[in-house]
A and B are shown apart, each in its own frame.
Chain A
Amino acid sequence: MRIRRMLFALAAILALPQLAAAQETRQITGKVTVVGGEVPIAGAIVSVEGTTMETRTNNDGDFRLIVYTGQVIVQARAIGYKRAVQTVQGDQSTVNFSLERDVLQIEGVVVTGQATTIDRRSATTAVAHVSGDALNTVAAPTLQNALVGRVSGVNIQSNSGAPGGGLQMQVRGNNTILGSFDPLYVVDGVLYSNQTIASGRGAISAAAFTAAEDDGVSRVADINPANIESIEILKGAAASSIYGSKAANGVVIIKTKRGQVGAPRVTVRQRVGQFQPSKDLDSRHWTRDEAIAKYGAGVAHWFDGNSSPYFNHFDQVFSNDKLSYETGIDVSGGSEFTRYFVGGTWKRDEGIEPGTGFGRQNLRVNVDQTIAEKFQMQVSTVFNRAEHERGWNNNCNNFACHGYAFAYTPSFVDLNARDANGNFLTPDWGIQANSIQTTELARNEEETNRFTGGINLNWDAVNTGTQTLRVVAATGLDAFQQNNNLWTPNELFFERSQTLPGVAIEGDGLSRIFNWNVNAIHNFIPGGGSWSLNTSAGIQFGENYLKTSRITTTNLVPGQQNVGQGTNTTGTENLTKERTIAFYGQEEVRLFDETLLLQAGLRAERSSVNGDIDKYYVFPKVSASYRILDVLGQGSEIKPRIAYGETGNLPGFNQKFTLLGTPQLGGLTGFTVAGASGSAIVAPERVKEIEVGIDGLAMDGRLTWELTGFNRNTTNLLLQRVPAPSTGFSSQVFNGGKIANRGFEAGIGVTPVQRSNLIWVSRATYTMYRSEVKDLAGLPAFRPPLSGFGGLGVTFIEVGEPITQLVGRAFDENGERTSTDVQIGNTAPDFRMGFTNDISYKALNFSAVLDYQKGGDIINLTQFLYDDAGTSHDYGSPEWEYRMKGYNNGVMTPYIEDASFLKLREVSVGMALPDSWVARAGLGIKSARVNLTGRDLLTWQKYTGLDPEVANLGSAAIRNNLDVAAYPPSRSFFLDISLGF
C-alpha cells in the first residue's frame, strides 16, 4: 500500500509544473544528407538544443521545425550516422546538415528504463551493442553463434556441435547455484522465453542425467538473426535492474528491423553452403592376434583378406554432405503515416551426422502507424517454425550414442559391412550397437511453432517547448509449442537386448509469456538547457506459463512408432506459472550543459513464486557519468562513470511448495510426505553490483574505448540444506550465503583507415572475471545440481574457492592418490578476447572475427572411455601409461586438459557488383552483392579431444566442461548472393 501512495504522489508531481508561458516561435526548414553526397537521410531527428522541440525528416531528407525566435542551436542525428550541430541565427530560416557514417557506433542510444533511453555518449553503465548487419554477415545457426567474439563481458560457449543452437551465454560470470542462470531476452519489448525443454532422448540412451544430456535446444534459437536491427546487452545490475528480479544474469534487448518512409525496397538473399566435420579422433590399430586376445575368436573374420584393417568411425558415421541453404526476402517501405517491414526466411542447415539438421521458416511483419498527430502505434509480429534433428550423441550407457559407441568399437570393425541380404552384421565386438544402423533407423525430431507479437503505443501528450509528457503503453505475447518425437525401433541392436525393446516418445512443451507495461515520462528542460530533468514512472505485469508433458512407450509392436503401439506406457506432466507485478520510478538529472548525468531509480515488485506474495522487493540503482570534453584534441571526450545497482533472481516455481508423493500400486494411489521440503518464506536472490568505467573517443571519433571494472555480490542465495534425515526430509530450500564475481572488460574500436574508397574498422573485446564463494550460510561444501559424475571430476561449491572449480582425486607429491578430493581445475576461462575486422575497398568487402579463450579446464571423459575400452589411439605409449595410472587409481588429473583455443569464427569476402552489370541484367535489380563466407573455419587448441567448447550437461547453472562424446564440431561455407530491388 505504501507503494501505491508513493505512486499517487509521483503522479501529482508530474502534473504540477507550469505548462503555460510559451515563448514566441518561428519556423525553419532544411535538408539532411549523407556527407559527400546528395543521398538524403529519411527519419533523421532534428531538434533544438535546450528544448524539447524536435521533428523528423521525410523521405527526401527535408524537415520543418518550429523553433523560438532568436538564435537557436539545432542538432541533426540519425541511426548509423554521427550527429551534427549548427547554430541558426535569428534571421536565418533554412539550415542543411550532412552527416558522417558512424562506423564505430559512437552514436545511438542505450536503454535506461522500460520506455526511456539515453545517448550512448552519456551512458552511466557499460552496455554492449551489436548491429544487425554485423550479425548477419556470415550465416549463423542462431543468434548466439553470431554474437561470439563481438561483445565484452559476455561468455558464450556452445555445448556441442549439434546443428541449430544449444549455447550457453553468461553475463559477468556465474551468479547462482539453484536459481535461473540465463540472461533475460526481450525482443521488441516482449519478454522472450529461452527455455530448454529436454527431448527425452536420455530415457532411450540410458543417460545418467536424463534431461540435461539430451542436447536440448535453448529456445532463443527461434530468433532469426536476419530480422535483427540491433542488440543491446545490459550487463551490470545498475543497467539491468529495470527488469528487477529476472535480470540477475543480464538482459539481452533485441530490436528487429522496421520500415522506413519511402518506396518499397525488396532484398532477396540466397545462401547455399555446406557443413563439414572439422575434427575427428583416431583409434587404436589392431593386429589379428591382439583382436582375438581381447574380443575372442569371433572377430577373426574382420582380418580376412586384410591383415591391418582400419576404419575411422567418425568418417563412416559423420558423413552427411548434403547442401544447406537459406532463402530470405525482405520488403520494407512506408508513407508518412504507415511504415512496414516484412521479412521471410526459409532455411535448412544439414548436420554432419546423417539425419540431423536444423530448419527454419520465419515470417516477420512489423508495422509502425501514426494514428493521430501525437499518437503512434508500433506492431511487431513474428512467426517462427523450427525443426531440429539433434541426433544421437553425448553420454549414454547403452551405446545408442555414436562417440560413446566408437570408444567401444575397435577400429578393425567396418560399420558399413553387411551380409548378403544387406543387413548390418550383428555386432561381435562386445557392445550391442552399430552407429550407422542408429543413424539410419533411429529418429530424434523436434518441431517448434512460435508466435511472438507486441504492440507499443506512444502518446506525446504534452510538449510545451520546455516540457514534454509522454505516455507509453506496451503489451506482448510470446508463445510456442515444442513437439518432440523420438523412436528407436525394436530391430536396433541396442534395443534388441532390452527387456522391453523399442521406444517411442511423444513430448510436448507449451510456453506462454504475457506482459504489459504502462509508463509516463516527463522531460523538463528549463530555459537554455544548461540543466534538465527526466522523470519516469510505470508499472509492469508479467505472466510466465510453461507446461511440459511426455508420453514414453516401450515394448513396441515391431515396426510401429506410435506411443499407442506398445505395452508399457508412462506419462509425465509438469506445469509452472509465475506472475510478477512491478512498480518503478526513475529520475535523470543532466547538469553543466549535459556533461554531468545523474540517474537514480527504484523498482518494487512482488511475485507469485516468492514465499510472501504480498511483499514488495525493492531494487534500487544509482549512477553517474561526467563527460570531459576536448582533452585529447578537438572533438574528443573522456567519460568516467560509476554505477551501483541491485537486481534479483526469482525462486523456482516449486521452491515454496512441499509436495506430496503419490505412489501407485495395484491401481491405487496414495499420499506420502515427499523428501524435498519447500520453504514458505523463500525470497529472490539479490545481486548487488558496483561498476566503474572510463569511456572515451579521440582522433575525430576514429578511436573509441570502453573500460569497465565490476564487483558483484549475489546475496541471499537460493540454497538447499540437508536436514537431519530422521526428520523424514532429505532437503529444504532456504536463502543465505554469498557469491562474489569481480571482473574487467574492455571494448576498443579503431578506424585505422577511413578514406572515401577504403575503410578499415577494427574492434577488440576483452572479458575477464573471477568468482569466489564467500559464504554458504553454514552449509558444508557440496556438489551443485548437474555437477558431473562422482569420482570423474565434479564442480564443487566450497567457501573461499571459485564457484567453477573442479575437484577430484589427484596424485600427491609422493605419487600416491590423495585421500580426499582436491581442486583439479576450474572451468572458467582466464579471459576471452574477440577481434573483429571489416575492410571495405570500393565495392569489395572483407571481414573476419577471431575468438580467443585463454585457460579454463575441460574434463576429457571421451578419452576416459577409450582408455576404459582399451581402444585409445596411443595405446601402449608413455602418454597412455601416464593416463592409465590415473585411470587405475581413480585419479582424474591426467584427463583434465587446458581448454584454451583460438577460433576463426567468421570470414567473409564479398563484392557489390557494379551498377552497370546490375542494370544490364534488367529485372528491376538495383543492387547485387556476392559473398563467400565461412564459420568456424580454423581452430588452434591445446585440447587433444574434439572441441574444447563442450558441455555434456548443457543446461547447468555451473558449467562443468564435461566432454562425453559430444556431437563433433563442424565448419561451414556459404555462397551468399543478395539482390536489391
Chain B
Amino acid sequence: MTIISRRLRAARMRRRAAGAVAAVIGAVLIGACADLEIDNVNAPTSETLTGAPTRAVLARTAIGVQTEAKNDLGGEIQQWGIYGREGWNLNGNDPRETGEEISGPQEPGGRAGGSWSGKYGAIRTINTYLTGLGLATDMTPEEVSASQGFAKTLKAWHLHKLAIRSGPVGMPIDVDRPIEAEPAPLVTSEAAMEAASAMLDEALADLQAGGASFPFAFVPGFEGFETPSSFAKFNRALAAKVYVHRATFYSCAACWAQAATAMSASFVSASGLPGSLKDGVYYGYTGDPGEAANPVSETLDNNRYWVHPSIITGAQLRGSGEPDLRLTSKTFPAAAPRTLNDLTGTHKPVMYNDPDDPSIPDRGADVPWIINEELLLLRAEIRWNTGDKPGAISDIDLVRVNAGGLAPTTLTAGSSDDAFIDELLYNRLYSLMWTQGTRWIDARRYNRTGDLPIDRPGDVVHQHMLIPTAECDARGLQVPCTIGG
C-alpha cells in the first residue's frame, strides 16, 4: 500500500466520521425540538375554570353547582333518618348500620365523619365559580349579579347543613384558599349559621340586581324558580328556614321576626291546596343512563330501608279510622317482617316508588328540597313564636287536612308551647319523613332527643356528627377534634 493510497483512505475515513457525527447531531436537533406538551382530553382540566373563564364555561359550572347541591344527600336521608329513628337499615352487610349509628360510639374516621367532604367539595366549586364570575369578560353586570345570587344561595345552604351536622364540634367556613394553605380556622356552628343567613341576604340583593334571567340553564328540580325573581322566593324560603333554625338551635330571639319577613317573600301559599303542597324546589334525579338516580329508592324485597315502628304506630287516625294519609302514601307493608340484631321492620318506605305500584322503585324520583308543605309548617312555627297563634293553628290545619286527611288540630291559642311543639313535630315528621332527617333535627332543636324511641338497652341518640379524622389530621389535632381543640 502506497503512502498516497493510505492518505486517500484516511481522508475517506475523515469524511465518513464527519458524516456520522452530522447524522447524530441531526438526530439530536430533531429530538431536542420534540413537543412534549400533551393535553389531557379525558375530561376538562381545572385550567378551564381559572383565569377569565368564558360565559359558556361559567354556564356549565352553574349546572355543576346545581348537581352538587345533592352531594351527601343519600347518606343524610339514611344516616340522619337512623339517628332520629325515622327508619333503619337492616341489610346486614355493614354492622355499623345497627351498631354505631344507633348505639355508638361514633367513629370519626367513618360514618360519623360523613356529610362533610361532599359539601366542602360543592363549596370549592362554588368558590371557584364566584372567582370566575368576578373575572368574566363576556357577561353583563346583571348576569354576573344574578349568577352570584344563585351561587351564594347554594353556598349558604351547604354551610347551614354543615352547621346542623356539626353542632358543638364546630366547622371551618373561610375555606376559599389554596390547597397548600393552612386549613381554614374552625368556628362555632352558630357563627356558621349566622354567616349562612348573611350570605342568603347578600344573595337576595344580588338576585334583585340580576335582571330578568339567568345566563345558564337549570337541571330538573328547579322548575318554576328559574328566573332571578322566582329564584329569590326560593332564596327567601331557605332564609326563613335558617332563621328558624337559628332561633331554635341558638335561641336567637331576633331571628323570629327576620324569619317572618323572609317567609313573606317566599313562595309559601295557602291557595291551590292540596296540589300546591308539593310546589317548591327539589333535588332532581332522572336515573337515565349516566345520570344520577334516586339514592334511596328500592324494591319492596330489598332489605335495606325499613320504617321505624314508632312511625307506624304513632300515626293519627282519620275520620274513617284509617291512618294519616301521609303514612299510607309513604310506607308499605313488606311481604314478611325482617329482624336483624333485635330490630324488626315491617314496613318499607315507598315515597320514592311508583305511587300506583309501590313495588316498583322510581329511579327518577326527586327528593323535596324545600316545598310549600314544609313552608306552611315553618310559617306556623314562626307565627306561634311571633304572637300570631291563630295564624299558626290555621297553617298547621292546612297541612293536617290537606296532606294527612286528618281533622283540624285541637290546639287553641291558649295551648301551651309544649302542646304546640308536639303538634308541630308530629306534622313535620309525617310531612317530611325520609327527606332530610327532620325527626332528628327537630328533636335537637327542641331538646327532645330524650323523647325519641330507644329500641334496645344501651342504644343512644347521637347529638351531632364529628369532624372527620382527615380534617383533624391535616390540622395536626388529636382525633376526635373539636373547635375546643
Residues of chain A touching chain B, judged by Cβ–Cβ distance below 8 Å, are 3-4, 7-8, 11, 14-15, 19-22, 24-25, 459, 461-462, 464, 469-471, 473, 499, 518-520, 537-541, 568-570, 573-581, 583, 606-609, 613-614, 653-654, 657-666, 668-675, 677, 722-730, 732, 780
Residues of A within 8 A of B63 (CB): 663, 665, 668-671
* Interface 9-residue window, one of B36-44, B392-400, B420-428: B36-44
Contact A671 B60 (CB under 8 A): yes
Q: Say yes or no: is B217 at the interface (Cβ < 8 Å to chain A).
A: yes
Q: Say yes or no: is B335 at the interface (Cβ < 8 Å to chain A).
A: no
Contact A729 B48 (CB under 8 A): no
Contact A725 B470 (CB under 8 A): yes
By beta carbon, the residue of chain A nearest B117 is: A725
Q: Say yes or no: is B184 at the interface (Cβ < 8 Å to chain A).
A: yes
Contact B473 A654 (CB under 8 A): no
Once the chains are docked, how many angstroms separate the CA of A665 from the CA of B63? 9
Once the chains are docked, how many angstroms separate the CA of A577 from the CA of B172? 40
Contact B20 A471 (CB under 8 A): yes
What are 30 contact pairs spanning A and B, CB under 8 A?
A: A14-B20, A15-B18, A20-B13, A21-B10, A461-B16, A499-B361, A518-B24, A518-B27, A519-B24, A540-B31, A570-B289, A570-B290, A579-B34, A581-B32, A613-B37, A614-B36, A660-B49, A663-B64, A668-B219, A669-B63, A671-B63, A672-B61, A672-B64, A672-B122, A677-B179, A723-B474, A724-B183, A724-B471, A726-B116, A726-B172
Given contacts A469-B16, A660-B49, 10 further A-B contacts (CB under 8 A): A22-B9, A461-B17, A461-B20, A579-B38, A665-B66, A668-B217, A668-B219, A669-B63, A673-B124, A722-B474
By beta carbon, the residue of chain A nearest B64 is: A670
Residues of B within 8 A of A7 (CB): 25, 28
Q: Say yes or no: is B1 at the interface (Cβ < 8 Å to chain A).
A: yes
Return B446 CB to nearest CB of chain A, in Å.
Answer: 29
Q: Which 6 interchain pairs have the tightest Cβ spacing?
A: A728-B124, A670-B63, A670-B64, A724-B474, A518-B27, A20-B10
Residues of A within 8 A of B60 (CB): 669-671
By beta carbon, the residue of chain B nearest A614 is: B36
Contact A659 B1 (CB under 8 A): no
Residues of B within 8 A of A24 (CB): 1
Q: Say yes or no: is B286 at the interface (Cβ < 8 Å to chain A).
A: yes
Return A573 CB to nearest CB of chain B, in Å.
Answer: 7
User: Contacts A518-B24, A665-B219, A724-B183; is A654 near B40 (CB within 8 Å)?
Assistant: yes
Picked from B1, B13, B20, B219, the residue with its CB within 8 Å of the CB of A25 is: B1
Residues of B within 8 A of A729 (CB): 121, 124, 179
Contact A664 B38 (CB under 8 A): no
Contact A539 B36 (CB under 8 A): no
Contact B120 A727 (CB under 8 A): yes
- Count residues on chain B whose CB falls below 8 Å from chain A CBs: 79
Once the chains are docked, how many angstroms separate the CA of A575 from the CA of B46? 18
Once the chains are docked, how many angstroms separate the CA of A780 from the CA of B171? 23
By beta carbon, the residue of chain B nearest A517 is: B27
Most buried by A among B41, B116, B292: B41
Once the chains are docked, how many angstroms separate the CA of A578 from the CA of B35? 11
Chain B stretch 233-247: residues in CB contact (< 8 A) with chain A: none
Contact B10 A22 (CB under 8 A): yes
Return B384 CB to nearest CB of chain A, in Å.
Answer: 37
Once the chains are docked, how many angstroms separate the CA of A255 from the CA of B373? 77
Once the chains are docked, how many angstroms separate the CA of A155 from the CA of B65? 50
Q: How many contacts between A and B, using CB within 8 angstroms?
A: 240
By beta carbon, the residue of chain A nearest B361 is: A499
Residues of B within 8 A of A537 (CB): 24
Residues of A within 8 A of B471 (CB): 724-726
Contact A11 B24 (CB under 8 A): yes
Picked from A575, A677, A726, the residue with its CB within 8 Å of the CB of B183 is: A726
Chain B stretch 55-112: residues in CB contact (< 8 A) with chain A: 57, 60-68
Once the chains are docked, how many angstroms separate the CA of A471 from the CA of B34? 22
Residues of B within 8 A of A581 (CB): 31-32, 34, 36
Contact A728 B25 (CB under 8 A): no
Contact A15 B68 (CB under 8 A): no
Residues of B within 8 A of A606 (CB): 36
Q: Say yes or no: is B274 at the interface (Cβ < 8 Å to chain A).
A: no
Picked from B10, B34, B64, the residue with its CB within 8 Å of the CB of A541 is: B34
Q: Say yes or no: is B291 at the interface (Cβ < 8 Å to chain A).
A: yes
Once the chains are docked, how many angstroms separate the CA of A578 from the CA of B14? 39
By beta carbon, the residue of chain A nearest B57 is: A671
Residues of chain B touching chain A, judged by Cβ–Cβ distance below 8 Å, are 1, 6-7, 9-10, 13-14, 16-21, 23-25, 27-28, 31-32, 34-38, 40-46, 48-49, 57, 60-68, 116-117, 120-125, 127-128, 171-172, 175, 177, 179, 183-184, 217, 219-220, 284-286, 289-292, 299, 361, 468, 470-471, 473-475
Once the chains are docked, how many angstroms separate the CA of A461 from the CA of B14? 9
Once the chains are docked, how many angstroms separate the CA of A666 from the CA of B218? 9
Contact B470 A653 (CB under 8 A): no
Contact A11 B179 (CB under 8 A): no
Residues of A within 8 A of B19 (CB): 461
Contact A569 B289 (CB under 8 A): yes
Contact B20 A459 (CB under 8 A): yes
Contact B24 A8 (CB under 8 A): no
Residues of A within 8 A of B290 (CB): 570, 664
Contact A724 B475 (CB under 8 A): yes
User: Contacts A662-B43, A663-B67, A670-B62; is A14 near B17 (CB within 8 Å)?
Assistant: yes
Return A507 CB to nearest CB of chain B, in Å.
Answer: 16
User: Contacts A19-B17, A613-B37, A671-B64; is A663 near B292 (CB within 8 Å)?
Assistant: yes
Return A964 CB to nearest CB of chain B, in Å.
Answer: 16
Return B297 CB to nearest CB of chain A, in Å.
Answer: 11
Residues of B within 8 A of A568 (CB): 289
By beta carbon, the residue of chain A nearest B177 is: A727
Contact B67 A670 (CB under 8 A): yes
Residues of A within 8 A of B474 (CB): 722-725
Contact B44 A659 (CB under 8 A): yes
Once the chains are docked, how many angstroms separate the CA of A20 from the CA of B13? 8
Contact B38 A732 (CB under 8 A): no
By beta carbon, the residue of chain B nearest A656 is: B40
Once the chains are docked, how many angstroms separate the CA of A627 from the CA of B289? 69
Residues of A within 8 A of B25 (CB): 7-8, 11
Contact A462 B124 (CB under 8 A): no
Residues of B within 8 A of A518 (CB): 23-24, 27-28
By beta carbon, the residue of chain A nearest B63 is: A670
Contact B17 A726 (CB under 8 A): no
Contact A464 B13 (CB under 8 A): yes
Contact A780 B473 (CB under 8 A): yes
Contact A725 B120 (CB under 8 A): yes
By beta carbon, the residue of chain B nearest A539 is: B31
Contact A659 B40 (CB under 8 A): yes
Return A257 CB to nearest CB of chain B, in Å.
Answer: 30
Once the chains are docked, how many angstroms separate the CA of A237 from the CA of B468? 42
By beta carbon, the residue of chain B nearest A520 is: B24
Residues of A within 8 A of B28 (CB): 4, 7, 518, 539, 583
Picked from A19, A579, A659, A666, the residue with its CB within 8 Å of the CB of B43 is: A659
Contact A675 B13 (CB under 8 A): no
Contact A473 B45 (CB under 8 A): no
Picked from A577, A658, A728, the residue with its CB within 8 Å of the CB of B38 is: A577
Return A455 CB to nearest CB of chain B, in Å.
Answer: 15
Contact B64 A613 (CB under 8 A): no
Contact A670 B66 (CB under 8 A): yes
By beta carbon, the residue of chain A nearest B23 is: A471
Return A230 CB to nearest CB of chain B, in Å.
Answer: 28
Contact A469 B17 (CB under 8 A): yes
Once the chains are docked, how many angstroms separate the CA of A574 from the CA of B43? 9
Contact B175 A660 (CB under 8 A): no
Residues of A within 8 A of B65 (CB): 670, 672
Once the chains are docked, how many angstroms separate the CA of A577 from the CA of B41? 10
Most buried by A among B61, B116, B290: B290
Residues of B within 8 A of A607 (CB): 36
Picked from A461, A540, A664, A726, the residue with its CB within 8 Å of the CB of B184 is: A726
Picked from A576, A664, A666, A675, the residue with its CB within 8 Å of the CB of B121 is: A675
Residues of A within 8 A of B128 (CB): 673
Once the chains are docked, how many angstroms separate the CA of A907 from the CA of B308? 67
